A = this chain, B = another copy of it.
Amino acid sequence: MHDTPSSPHVVIIGAGFGGLRAARTLRKAPVQITLLDRKNYHLFQPLLYQVATAGVSPEEIAHPVRAIFRRQKNLTFQLANVTGIDFDQRQIHSTEGSLAYDYLILAVGSESNYFGLDSVKTHGLGMKDIDEAIAIRNQVLRMFELATHETDPEIRRTLLTFVVVGGGPTGVESAGALSELIRLVLIKDYPQLNIKDVRVLLLEASDRLLTGLPEDLQEFTAQTLWKKYVEVRFGATVTDFNGERVLLKSGELIPSHTLIWAAGVRAASIVTKLDAELARQGRVIVAPTLQLPQHDRVFVIGDAAYLEDQGKPLPMVAPVAIQQAEVAAKNVISLLNEVPLKEFQYKDPGELATIGRNQAVARLGRLKFRGVFAWLVWLFVHLMQLVGFRNRLVVLINWAWDYFFYERAVRLIVPSAKWSWTPGAPPRTESEQEN
């Protein structure tokens, strides 16, 4: 596969933000790169919640990896699921066979963390990939369809209760977007429905939302969500969900068929199969150079890597992955040139979250914004980060449509791998059939 077997072979696992940036950074390096991913596309995760709430279609936030790297001659893409890595033999084992590497950059990202709550994992809906986001869209729309011909008011209110768990950016953005989807769009689709039957809850175990933001913006976020009729509940810890009701630690029962889980992530489970020491959230402990302590040709970056900054673990966010990718890629070149490696130093660009129409919160360096200006910043930053001009244009059209016509384009119930409902099936989510 490699025309110049003499040049060193760098394997990058994962085509997320980190993997893409590492590959690009090595664009002109005298190396052969193989990029592996189990999907053939790069997913723009920050907009996944908009797929779940029918704002954009999944194709608009995904971009084929081969298209991204078409012009990068020193890179080969391989669609494969990595099953194990032999650090001593420098071999990667995958569903498509084995692959030798000279240098390895692991950018495998994260997955939903259910903290051992099997019932939530079985009956709840995560939001880490396209099929999960479509499953949420299907489930929400299906509940409205069922509610239209449900005569028992208690059952109807249960159908129309939607529980989002987790007060981080994904939870906040999902709850806000879901409430607006219902109150601005679906209300017109289902005229026979009483909006007072609808509940959207955001459950947060601590007493704060968006912990990466200053306290006044946290407050503003909670208040804005509340004004959008999201029941923001603090100190609410989910302990069980059977597909029909959510049980909290306090003993409170919330009748609902829909639980969206955004309460935590952990490193992708492949890292548990590696000969490497793991820290909190299953993250791989790395040296400040991002190397594995025992294997200096192996770099781990992004959500899967554990490194502390001023005594605290680095957050599992895209800017960390992107900055680490650059350092890791340059350190590979330094190893080649036998010069000293660079240590990673995080430059925090800030944090952004949208709460709904015209409402967002933003911290950029030491500046704070909220309201319309923060919302415009959010729109601009996200649109510019999308891969591909066509995607940007189409997403912009959808956003404009939504904004001016109070219309969500993509409220379709389509068959999906994670959610195989057929008419007549019971209202609870059916992901347990797939597991």
Say yes or no: is A208 at the interface (Cβ < 8 Å to chain B).
no
| B96 near A149: Cβ-Cβ < 8 Å | yes
Which residues of chain A in 124-161 are interfacial with respect to chain B, using CB atoms and an 8 Å cutoff? Answer: 130-131, 141-142, 145, 148-149
Please tell me if A116 contacts chain B, counting CB pairs below 8 Å: no
Q: Mark A53-86, 1 if CB is under 8 A from B, else 0.
A: 0000111101010110010000010111100000
Whether the Cβ atoms of A130 and B57 lie closer than 8 Å is no
Cβ-based interface call for A39 (8 A): yes
Given contacts A39-B413, A401-B390, A411-B64, contact A424 B96 (CB under 8 A): yes
The segment from A103-111, A184-192, A250-258, A278-286 found at the interface with B is: A184-192
State whether the Cβ of A112 lies closer than 8 Å to any Cβ in chain B: no
Query: With the chains together, A411 CA to B41 CA distance in Å?
Result: 9
Contact with B along A78-105 (1 / 0, CB 8 A): 1111000000000000111100000000
Interface size on A, residues (CB 8 A): 56
Q: Which residues of chain B have C-beta atoms less than 8 A from A407's C-beta?
A: 67, 390
Check if A123 is an interface residue, CB within 8 A of chain B: no
Q: Could you say which of B94, B412, B414 contacts A423, with CB atoms under 8 Å apart?
A: B94
Q: Which residues of B contact A417 (CB under 8 A)?
A: 415-417, 420
> Is the beta-carbon distance between A189 and B415 smaller than 8 angstroms?
no
When chains A and B are docked, how far (Å) is the Cα of A148 from the Cα of B142? 41
**A113: CB under 8 A from chain B?**
no
Task: Give the docked Cα–Cα distance between A424 and B84 (Å).
Answer: 14
Say whether A418 faces chain B, with CB atoms less than 8 Å apart.
yes
Known: A57-B59, A66-B190, A413-B39. A423 touches B96 (CB 8 A): yes
User: Which residue of B has the minimal Cβ distance to A420?
Assistant: B417
Residues of A whose CB lies within 8 Å of any CB of B are: 1, 38-41, 57-60, 62, 64, 66-67, 70, 76, 78-81, 94-97, 130-131, 141-142, 145, 148-149, 188-190, 192, 390-391, 393-394, 397-398, 401, 407, 409-418, 420, 422-424
15 extra interchain contacts, Cβ-Cβ under 8 A, other than A94-B423, A417-B420?
A40-B411, A40-B413, A58-B412, A59-B59, A59-B409, A67-B407, A70-B188, A94-B424, A97-B149, A131-B414, A390-B398, A390-B409, A393-B397, A415-B416, A416-B416
